[in-house]
Structure 1
Amino acid sequence: MREDAALIWLDEGEVARWSRYEFDRPRRQFSLCRAALRALLCEQLGCSNDELAFQHTKFGKPSAMLRDEPAPICFNVSHSGDHGLIAFVPEGRLGVDVEERVDHRRLDLLIKGMLSAEERAELAGLHGAERLHLFFDLWTIKEALIKADGTGLALDASRFTIPPAISHGMTGGTLALPQSPGAEWRVARLGTERFAAAVAHEVPAGPETAPQREAGRPVVSV
């Protein structure tokens, strides 16, 4: 989609936000991702674009409004470089993250701020591309969980460890976080060699039947 076509989807507030970006690339990323989000929400909800609006929690997490009422859908969006990721679920908290696997000049600071002592110790034994690959897998899983939790910096990523069964080999699994009592999270890794990506979705309370579990899986657009 061209940027001028994307802008047609945006409302007045979104166009104002778009115009405040200083650099072309993030401005274009915002317009394309927001237009894609609106188009996909219209498809999921069976509505027109002018019936959609967004509201935000005090922590900045957005949710959809349909005809001035909360829409029966949860979504989350992430973008990095040329990659964007949008996911939807009918209910339950949801978070996604995507990151290009590129070297970062502040990598050591990110490792210290994002990873637990166990994760930092494992990375210390790795080098080059292998170290970078694991870091981005852990980072995107943690960012997806933080965004799903929805309380911003209240969830300290360095205080929980991603189980090796999820960060190595397996594409996903479930886990609980000590800082988010009473919640269980289903995590899926979606990345490739070029980018890391993850989705985190709150598991509904109580026993799930197979049809309920399948219906509750996030719909993902990359």
Structure 2
Amino acid sequence: MTGLNPMWLPAPTDLTLLPDEVHVWRIDLDRPQGQLQNLAATLCADELARAERFYFQEHRQRFIAGRGMLRSILAGYLGIEPQHIKFDYQPRGKPVLADTFAQSGLAFNLSHSQGLGLCAVNYTRQIGIDLEYIRPMSDVESLAERFFLPREYDVVRSLPTDQKQEVFFRYWTCKEAYLKATGEGIAQLEQVEIALTPTEPARLKTIKDWSLLELVPADNYLAAVAVAGFGWHLKCWQY
């Protein structure tokens, strides 16, 4: 694994986000029923309606947990109650802070997979995060050929079988993190070229002035954070 395996610390009561910091929160989405009820009480009608559209109860509960804890995290930075936060949505669905909260400059992005979530937060920089559970796949090469650039596909194809899957997900999380930061959709995967090897960290090859950092947030998970610009410091918190 080439990704950073950070220490996830409990957040201090006097949490401060400095202009040159990026905070990443690790969130356990499987919460007790009592906590879920409290989190659901902070959601708006639109979020509750979205939760109800999930077919499986497990998915409904994880959505409520993710959105509720996102509100709680952002509220801590903004100094308000979670239920008072309002969101706008960009054309491809990326949530951003609305109304007066947007003037704070607080930028965030949320990703979740299975029972784990990650939330990245900073001031003023475009930011995106993607998290993937590494699940067994029999068609890694064909997926790489379909979604990746020829040079990236060649890397996946050249690897031993036991390395193909990890490298595929490294490419995927890096591309998705950048596309989520810019608000573009998955259809643009082929427009983002990533340079990486099994032993070297990933970097954005064709796009300048962006940072890319790979994370290993838990066993069998991979993640990546894309941030506009350089010179920032990472802090990792456990919700």
Q: Deviations over 1:76-133 (max 9, x none)?
A: 0100012111000101211110001111355344312321111111111223331111
Name the SS for the 1:104 alignment partner: coil
Question: TM-score if structure 2 supplies the norm length?
Answer: 0.75
Post-superposition offset of 1:66: 5.5
Which of the numbers 30, 36, 40 marks the counterpart of 2:63? 30
**How far apart are 1:135 and its partner, in Å?**
0.7
Match of 1:185 in 2: 210
1:153 and 1:189 map into 2 onto residues whose CA distance is: 19
**How many residues are treated as equivalent by the alignment?**
204
Asked if the contact 2:141–2:157 (Cα under 8 Å) also holds between the matched residues in 1, the reply is no
The structure-2 alpha-carbon separation of the partners of 1:114 and 1:57, relative to structure 1 and needing over 3 Å to count, comes to same
Deviation at 1:151, TM superposition (A): 2.3
Unaligned runs of 5+ in 1: 178-182, 205-212
The alpha-carbon distance between structure 1 residues 8 and 114, as it changes in their structure 2 partners (threshold 3 A), is same
Match of residue 199 from structure 1: 225
Q: In the alignment, does 2:75 pair up with 1:42?
A: yes
Q: Contact conserved, 1:175 with 1:184, CA < 8 A, in 2?
A: no
Q: Describe the shift of the 1:116–1:16 C-alpha distance in structure 2 as closer, same or farther (beyond 3 A).
A: same
Does residue 8 in structure 1 map to residue 41 in structure 2?
Answer: yes
Q: Which moved more, 1:64-73 or 1:22-31?
A: 64-73
- Give the match's secondary structure for 2:226: strand
The 3 A distance-change label for structure 1 pair 32 and 115 is same
CA contact (8 A) 2:194 2:202 kept: no
**Higher RCO (CA 8 Å, separation ≥ 6 residues):** 2
Offset of 1:187 from its aligned partner?
0.5
Offset, 1:160 = 3.7
Q: 1:44 to 1:188 in 2, by over 3 A?
A: same
* Cα deviation, residue 168, structure 1: 4.1
* CA pair 130-105 structure 1, distance change in 2 beyond 3 A: closer
Partner AA of 1:87 in structure 2: A
Aligned 8 A contact 1:101 1:193 in 2: no
User: Aligned-residue CA RMSD in angstroms?
Assistant: 2.4
Q: Indicate how the Cα distance of structure 1 residues 195 and 68 shifts in structure 2: closer, same or farther if over 3 A, else same.
A: closer
Deviations 1:46-73 (A, max 9, x none): 1112321100011211101365654420
Gapped regions of structure 2 (runs ≥ 5):
1-30
Cα 1:53–1:162 shift into 2, 3 Å: same
Q: Percent identity?
A: 25
